[in-house]
Amino acid sequence: MAGLAGVYVIGGADGNRQQAGACSAAASLAAEIAPLARGEVAAFLPAKNPNALSDLAFRNDAGEPITLGDFRNRVVLVNLWATWCAPCRKEMPALDELQADLGGEDFEVVAVSVDQTGEEKPRAFLQEIGVGNLAFYADPSMKIFQDVRSRGRAPGLPTTLLVDGEGCEIGALMGPAEWASDDAKALVRAAIDAQRKAAPEGTGS
């Protein structure tokens, strides 16, 4: 899989195989924030036919199995990365800064390591570069990568998916981006604001 490190194809097709209408709200949100896909995040592709992603599975910092469904009512920026991927390593401080600035009850950056050698190397790397705001998530089996790829995303690493509180894809960016930029924050804030407006009263979102 190391050969994928240099692949940053920006695919234009929506390879969604989910039932029509399952993520209609995400499709509307994607269209709403599409004008914000500019500057540092111009490569962001709003989803016309969003994938349902709540079943994507990985492990949390304690090694416990979780899915994106566990982040219900929260906007999530899912980043698939590996230590052998040079662009992944380069963008990690920006993802850490994005989490520091916008992370909370309504939003989280979920950076999932797919290093097949285990957790020791990615944990050491994050500690070495001073990442202190991102929780550690991993899937050494790389199944999450294969699952995302089977849905028409993740031609290589890094791949980043913006997901709504129902686990539906808002859009994707294949390749690295400056996630701490004003452009990126404006895009994410728009998704957070829309999620807050859509959340039923009493959810706390």
pLDDT of residue 13: 38
Best CA proximity match to 108, nearest among 32, 180, 188:
188
State residue 5's pLDDT score.
Answer: 39
19 or 108, higher pLDDT: 108
21-197 has which fold? Answer: Glutaredoxin (3.40.30)
The answer to whether 68 and 59 are in contact (CB under 8 A) is: no
- Asked if 114 and 145 touch (Cβ cutoff 8 Å), the reply is yes
- Residue 170 is predicted with a pLDDT of 98
The Cα 22–Cα 11 span in angstroms is 22
Q: What is the tens place of the pLDDT at every residue in 104-156?
A: 999 999 999 999 999 999 999 999 999 999 999 999 999 999 999 999 999 99
| Domain boundary assignment for the chain | 21-197
Give the mean pLDDT of 48-66: 97
- pLDDT for the residue 146: 97
Q: Are 182 and 38 in contact (CB under 8 A)?
A: no
Distance CA 166, CA 189 (A): 17
What mean pLDDT value characterizes the chain? 89
- The pLDDT tens digits of the residues spanning 3-17 come to 333 444 333 334 444
The radius of gyration of the chain from alpha carbons, rounded to an integer in Å, stands at 15
- Percent of the chain exceeding pLDDT 90 equals 83
**φ and ψ at residue 84, rounded to 5 degrees:** -80, -5
| Residue 26 pLDDT class (50, 70, 90 cuts) | very high
pLDDT tier at 70 (50, 70, 90 boundaries)? very high
**Would you mind telling me the total number of residues written for the chain in this entry?**
205
What's this model's pTM, rounded to 2 decimal places? Answer: 0.88
